[in-house]
Structure 1
Amino acid sequence: MAKVHPNTTPAASAEETPGASVVRKEDGGAVSLTVWRKSLLFGCSGFTVFDSKGDLVFRVDVYGSAAGALVLMDSCGNPLLTLRRKKLSLGATWLIFDGEDTVDPVYSVKRQVSLRHGGALAHMKPRRLQGRVGVGGGGYEIKGSYARRSCRVYDEGRRAVAEVRRKEPAGGAALGGDVFRLVVESDFDACLAMAVVILLDQMFG
């Protein structure tokens, strides 16, 4: 298998405030992340995410079943977002909380059950207007195919703010569906974009 990441040094310092943005965007442009559908911890499933320099920026470590909460962390293990299934929704709706809070959600993400909505996979709506991940007052729509690693997040103006793409490695070595790219526009929160990826994996993985 081709090398997924060149470095294992955390990109964020332990002294940084938990919940702060941990992805540095160069020259105000989009950031490209490499998502590895694997935990670096033995015996765990999850995600490991690297920036363009190969530095670790996000991680998700799942012990056993993901029936409870999933926590998106920075490279030092500080909780950024907590994702929980909404009760009685049978996994169709998830709630996104800031940090380790599980009381006041900032977003809800609902899987689209009908295929007659223009190819939409899910819809994300804000639950409150304030908070670190409140990157906009409106909702978002996710369209495409997560199974093919080809989907986008659109804002209310139909502008793509984040995209999941297949990763084309140097040298032509196949990486498979467990390694792919997440491209995030400069005005969208990379933490929130990664949360969407995690939930798509729960809904369609």
Structure 2
Amino acid sequence: MDVPELLEAASLLVPERIATENDITVNDVWEYLVHDEWEVALDLLEELGDVHQLSLSFWETLATAAEQMRLEKSAAWCHWRGYETRHGIIRADLTLRPAAETRRQTPISGAGVLRPMWNIGHRTATGAPALNTARLWAEFTPFLEPGGHTAVRLAPLDPSQWQHLQPGQVITMHENRSVAGAAVVLEIQRPSATVTT
């Protein structure tokens, strides 16, 4: 399928009743599609997907359209949301340690590239912390400076290890043995069986 067909297919997976905070609906998307404004239509579909839990097919179709339009960040975000559709959403409030207190001296990418380890409470047989890996997406910034603070989304490599997390729980981020940052879990959404296909 080409880009317009992909965007049309994705828009058909959006219920007509949902709207963004700015009252954007799927009808607005159709207006942009009629005028070949594909990038705007893609952005609006992403917004609609962020206010209502939509299917894995929706996110995969949007990711393919974004890839065909060479919109790397949009494609990465749609793939990320597809992962969350399958495995659930983990949001946390992350504060990185300042550069003077940690090995990291440069900003980290906020777009799901970094795969730090996290102390989420598991222990080894000897009682030492057992760290779990999860990719990190910063919600409101393209880069997070040492000492910075922002809301993040986490995509665990093994989601089953993260099932015990609860809002309010403190977890620590590690890029080596030392603590690189601390995060307070804000939200846990389990995957919904009705939107995973």
TM-score relative to the length of structure 1: 0.30
TM-score relative to the length of structure 2: 0.31
More strand by share: 1
Larger Rg: 2
More helix by share: 2
